């Protein structure tokens, strides 16, 4: 199916089901209940799950297959966002031209940076990409202010020409982004008893594009091109001794990865037409590295899981404050309640990154293959237990 084998088709269908039914899956607790704060089924967060999933999938094509660790991929995310916003300002509010331009501009930018950076490997390559990203951040923040609007960020205004669209909406405001008339912010709600489910047009556009990106990643992983990239990661020096030049393959992987990042940046701007230099900062590049390693570098679904995991912690755990903690431990005596709040406080709210850091350390130490390896170990454990339970009792006793 779709040119994939049975295993890959099953994986693609699983991801499709998870994304299409995310409004239900991410809202397990009734609205208004004490556990409702752990629900993640609202449009803005769901959009970030799939957009950063695309970002991580693209990064994994470079890092997971070739072993080249880039610390500058946020530059392509930022370039994609700026390109999309400029398309909204000059052409129309339709997201398709903006997304296409984001991918093209990010690909060209990645070609330039990759051509220079891939002259080196290892830590030298990583430092070069970091340097280019920081240069891009500095240019966007100061030198290129007429194009990027500096620290304020590039935004839409009523004076934008929009050749193929209207500059002012019917109510006198700035038009909203849309897909052939379907507004990206339009949301339908479904009330089922105490549960509230939201279905956002922008989320489903991002989800469909993530499925396409995931499908293309599978095809790349299983292609002869993907095998060449794996050979680069395995032993590039031996590959060079055979007479094969690895550089065109690594450059192609770098450009493809940059185009994925540009697509993610274009989608961020399509959901919220604003582009700022902070998207090009080194912290954003480090975040996608964490996503890929946490989920499982070199695996197909790992980066998607890692992106969802980190964005969930960033948006859910960061909202837990002392009032919430006191409500959790209210059943305890006052002294013990205050003690528990004091103990847990550093790991939630503004300290959510401490919890994430500890979990990341645990994954790296005990599960080098990331969350995917953890899932595989759990699956093997259950299969082994099932096989033992299904063995006849006579076979369990050694013959005398």
DSSP 299-332: -SSHHHHHHHHHHHHHHHGGG--HHHHHHHTTTS
pLDDT tens track, the chain, 400 positions: 677 888 999 999 999 999 999 999 998 888 877 778 888 888 999 999 999 999 999 999 999 999 999 999 999 999 999 999 999 999 889 999 999 999 999 999 999 999 999 999 889 999 999 999 999 999 998 888 989 998 888 998 888 888 887 788 778 788 899 898 899 999 998 888 888 899 999 999 999 999 999 999 999 999 999 999 999 998 888 888 888 888 999 999 999 999 999 999 999 999 999 898 888 888 889 899 999 999 999 999 999 999 998 998 888 888 888 888 888 888 888 889 889 989 988 888 888 888 888 888 888 888 888 888 888 888 888 888 777 766 554 444 443 4
Whether 159 and 269 map to the same domain: the answer is: yes
346, part of any domain: yes
CA distance 137 to 276: 9
* Contact indicator for 179, 187 with CB cutoff of 8 Å: no
Whether 240 and 122 map to the same domain: the answer is: yes
200, part of any domain: no
Whether 270 and 332 map to the same domain: the answer is: no
50, part of any domain: no
Whether 229 and 280 map to the same domain: the answer is: yes
Element holding 237 (H helix, E strand): helix 224-241
* Contact indicator for 195, 31 with CB cutoff of 8 Å: yes
Domain interval for residue 342: 320-390
Whether 152 and 76 map to the same domain: the answer is: yes
Answer whether 0.85 is exceeded by the pTM: yes
Whether 242 and 103 map to the same domain: the answer is: yes
Pairing outcome for strands 274-275 and 154-155: antiparallel
Tally the residues of the chain: 400
Q: How many domains does the chain have?
A: 2
Whether 269 and 171 map to the same domain: the answer is: yes
6, part of any domain: no
373, part of any domain: yes
Residue in 396, 217, 187 with CA at minimum distance from that of residue 299: 217
How many Cα atoms within 13 Å fall on the side-chain side of residue 334? 0
Whether 257 and 329 map to the same domain: the answer is: no
Residues 6+ apart with CB under 8 A from 97: 87, 91
Domain end point (choices 300, 334, 368): 300
Whether 277 and 337 map to the same domain: the answer is: no
5, part of any domain: no
107, part of any domain: yes
Domain end point (choices 269, 300, 331): 300
Domain end point (choices 300, 333, 352): 300
Whether 104 and 141 map to the same domain: the answer is: yes
Return the pLDDT at 214: 96
Whether 66 and 129 map to the same domain: the answer is: yes
241, part of any domain: yes
Q: Scanning the structure block, which residue is given the tokens 């994986």?
A: 11
Whether 134 and 173 map to the same domain: the answer is: yes
């Amino acid at each position: 199916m779709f040119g994939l084998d049975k295993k890959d088709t099953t994986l693609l269908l699983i991801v499709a089901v998870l994304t299409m039914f995310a409004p239900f899956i991410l809202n397990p607790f009734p609205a208004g209940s004490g556990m409702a704060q752990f629900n993640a089924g609202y449009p803005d967060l769901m959009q970030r799950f799939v957009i950063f999933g695309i970002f991580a999938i693209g990064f994994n094509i470079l890092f997971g297959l070739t072993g080249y660790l880039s610390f500058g991929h946020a530059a392509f995310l930022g370039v994609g966002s700026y390109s999309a916003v400029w398309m909204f300002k000059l052409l129309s509010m339709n997201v398709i031209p903006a997304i296409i331009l984001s991918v093209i501009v990010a690909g060209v930018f990645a070609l330039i940076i990759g051509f220079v950076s891939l002259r080196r490997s290892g830590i030298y390559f990583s430092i070069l990409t970091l340097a280019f990203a920081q240069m891009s951040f500095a240019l966007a923040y100061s030198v290129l202010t007429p194009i990027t609007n500096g620290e304020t960020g590039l935004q839409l205004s009523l004076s934008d020409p929009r050749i193929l669209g209207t500059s002012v909406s019917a109510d006198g405001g700035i038009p909203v982004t849309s897909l052939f008339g379907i507004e990206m912010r339009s949301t339908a709600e479904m009330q089922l008893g105490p549960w509230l489910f939201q279905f956002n047009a922008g989320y489903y556009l991002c989800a469909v594009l993530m499925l396409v990106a995931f499908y293309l990643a599978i095809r790349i992983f299983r292609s002869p091109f993907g095998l060449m990239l794996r050979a680069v990661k395995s032993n590039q020096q031996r590959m060079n001794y055979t007479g094969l030049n690895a550089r065109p393959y690594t450059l192609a992987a770098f450009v493809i990865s940059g185009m994925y990042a540009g697509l993610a940046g274009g989608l961020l701007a399509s959901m919220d037409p604003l582009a700022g230099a902070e998207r090009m900062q080194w912290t954003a590049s480090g975040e996608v590295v964490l996503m890929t390693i946490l989920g499982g570098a070199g695996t197909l679904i790992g980066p998607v899981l890692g992106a969802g995991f980190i964005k969930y912690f960033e948006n859910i755990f960061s909202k837990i404050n002392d009032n919430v903690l006191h409500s959790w431990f209210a059943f305890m005596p006052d002294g013990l309640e205050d003690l528990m709040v004091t103990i847990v406080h550093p790991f939630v709210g503004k300290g959510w990154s401490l919890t994430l850091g500890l979990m990341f350390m645990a994954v790296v130490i005990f599960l080098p293959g990331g969350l995917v390896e953890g899932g595989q170990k759990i699956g093997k454990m259950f299969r082994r237990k099932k096989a033992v339970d299904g063995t006849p009792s006579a076979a369990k006793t050694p013959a005398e």
